[in-house]
Amino acid sequence: MEVTGFDTWVLSLAVFLPLVGALVVMLIPKAYETELKLVALGSSLIALVVGAYIAIQFDYGAAGDLQFVVDKGWIDVINSRYIVGLDGLSLPLLLLSLVVVPLCLIYSWNHIPDPGNPKAFFVLLLILSTGMNGSFVSQDMILFFVFFEVVLLPMYFLIGVWGGEDRRYASLKFFLYTLFGSALMIISFLALFFLSKDASGELLQTFDMRVLTDVAGVGIIKSTQVWIFAGLFMGFGIKVPMFPFHTWLPDAHTQAPTVGSVILAAVLLKLGTYGFVRIAIPFLPEGAIAWAPWIGLLAVIGIIYGALGCLAQKDMKRLIAFSSVAHMGFVMLGIATLTDFGINAAVFGMIAHGLITGMLFFVAGSVKERYHTLEIARLGGLLKAAPRMGWILGFASMASLGLPGLAGFWGEFPAILSAYNPGAGLSEELFRVYMVIAAIGTVLAAGYLLWLYQRTAFGEPTEEFAGHEIADVNRDEWIAWVPFLIGIVLFGIWPNLIFNVTDDVVSGITASVEAIAAGS
């Protein structure tokens, strides 16, 4: 597709508009609080409008191809270029990221957590937005790496400045884990750069992700692929996070301010799973086949471990955080099957988890604001005290446990199903065992979510809060939450909205993996 005129700019606009907004906000003095909030929201909304334009102009008939491609020189000395492009895999994730940020800004409008300073808070959210959007559209490994890292510092400060009691520990842990992963990731990127060959055996020496997808690792021997994949696995696996690297997540989520948790759950974790689907598997199919059983194993351990962790939690936010570990386990299980079916389910699961868990964190944040605690034992009777919020919590919990008809179902159920018949010559017995374990995980998920709901929403408000007036959902919260709720229902009853978009890309990836598996 020939890209001309305005279309050459749209992706860059969607990525950098929030950053421009951040720079403008920085120049506005602190005293003009409304103005700077408006500028921040405005820039993220314009980016969203650009996103909508992209979604309309996107050629859904050719969702498997990169569109709106821009390829310009950037760092010539290392042969790295500014290449951005968008296909059916990137589009839903980019839109998710573009939608979540303005909603978070609206939610924070009058709820800036202690110690205040809306200017810095909004600037950081906007920088974060640029990093996330950029990661999803980069088609050059170095560019991807830079955007991938840009999100780190803003999130570090969001947790560290506006977080809870243990914020220093949590923010540092988050940072060090991720930094370690990305240092190994960049080593793997360079190894790909130096070792990749085209079909005729010529060294490619390129960071261009399009080219590396096309060559699919031919010319890199299997043992080397396994090593390079290990580096990528550390980079992306820590971000997901996979068991046993998940320990940063409950701390970060529990301590982060509400919108920090929402963005972390809704978008940041997806950078990891996206990396597997976009980079690790297509670039190194043989490495992926070798690693798939282990990824599957860690995924199901994550499912069970996360669920058991949930059952042991006394804090509502920490419980939701552990449920994230379990849900990302389903996503990774889907990816590990290396089937069309499983990876599509995983991509769907990424979106669904983003919406549902994001919603749950929003509710948790609002509960915290009203009760000043998230200790499950002290809560109760939310349905009586604030019925609308109680219903929303119930709705999101149902979605999270995978109730058919809501978005969560389409992420989990096909992922489990796909393990019945894994692709690329993977052991059927092994993956069927994983399938059974994952199925048990869904039962546990129903258990902990319903138990959470019972303890917080049913019954009478506890004595401690009996006399208190608990405000129900307010205007800002409605504006921020309604799109999440609509999304959960819409994708629940019409999953093809996403499957149709992602399938072309995913089947391309699995086809090349299958070809390699058949050839070896």
Partner 1 sequence: MEVLLAFSRPALDWHALAPELTLLAFGTLITVVDIIWDDRSKRAMPTLAGIGLLATLIPILTLAVDGTERSMFGGAYVVDDFSLVLKALFLISGYVVILMSVDYIRDGDYYENEYYTLMLTSLLGMVMMSSSRDLISVFVALELLSIPAYMLAAWRKGGPRSNEAGLKYYLMGVFASAVMLYGMSLIYGLAGSTTFGAIAQELGSSEANPVAILGILFILIGFAFKVSAVPFHTWAPDTYEGAPTPVTAFLAVASKTAGMVALIQLVFVAFPGRDDVVQPFFWLIAALTMTIGNLIALRQNNIVRLLAYSGVAQGGFMLVPFAVAADAPARAVEALVIYMAIYAFMNLGAFTVVLAVARKTRSGEIDSYGGLFQYAPGLAVAMTIFLAALAGIPPAGGWFAKFGLFRALLDAGGGWAAGLGVVVAVNTVIAFAYYARILVQMWFQSVPDGDERPIAIPGALKAALAVTIIATMAFGILPGLVGHFGEVSVLSALGG
Reduce the DSSP state of residue 208 to 3 states and report it: strand
Nearer to partner 1, 176 or 482 (CB): 176
CA distance 304 to 159: 27
Nearer to partner 1, 134 or 334 (CB): 134
Nearer to partner 1, 228 or 382 (CB): 228
Contact 33, 118 (CB under 8 A): yes
CB of 144 vs partner 1, minimal distance in Å: 11
Distance set, CA 22 to CA 106, 273, 450 (Å): 16, 28, 41
CB of 72 vs partner 1, minimal distance in Å: 12
Give φ, ψ of 81 to 5 degrees: -125, 160
Nearer to partner 1, 231 or 402 (CB): 231
CB of 284 vs partner 1, minimal distance in Å: 15
Contact 56, 184 (CB under 8 A): no
Nearer to partner 1, 160 or 237 (CB): 160
Q: For residue 154, which amino acid is it?
A: P
Q: Which two tokens stand for residue 295?
A: 């990824």
Q: For residue 398, which amino acid is it?
A: M
CB of 230 vs partner 1, minimal distance in Å: 11
Q: For residue 114, which amino acid is it?
A: D
Kindly report the three-state secondary structure assignment for every residue of 345-380.
HHHHHHHHHHHHHHHHHHHHHHHHHHHCCCEHHHCC
CB of 75 vs partner 1, minimal distance in Å: 5
Nearer to partner 1, 21 or 414 (CB): 21
Nearer to partner 1, 175 or 236 (CB): 175
CB of 192 vs partner 1, minimal distance in Å: 10
Nearer to partner 1, 30 or 475 (CB): 30
Contact 514, 424 (CB under 8 A): yes
Give φ, ψ of 363 to 5 degrees: -60, -45
Nearer to partner 1, 122 or 499 (CB): 122
CB of 96 vs partner 1, minimal distance in Å: 23
**What is the residue-wise DSSP string for 294-357?**
HHHHHHHHHHHHHHHHHHH--BHHHHHHHHHHHHHHHHHHHHHTTSHHHHHHHHHHHHHHHHHH
CB of 142 vs partner 1, minimal distance in Å: 8
Q: How many CB atoms lie within 10 A of CB 48?
A: 21
CA distance 307 to 330: 12
Interacting residues toward partner 1 by CB under 8 A = 73-78, 120, 142, 145-146, 149-150, 152-153, 156-157, 160-161, 167-168, 171-172, 175-176, 179-180, 183-184, 186-187, 190-191, 193-194
CB of 324 vs partner 1, minimal distance in Å: 23
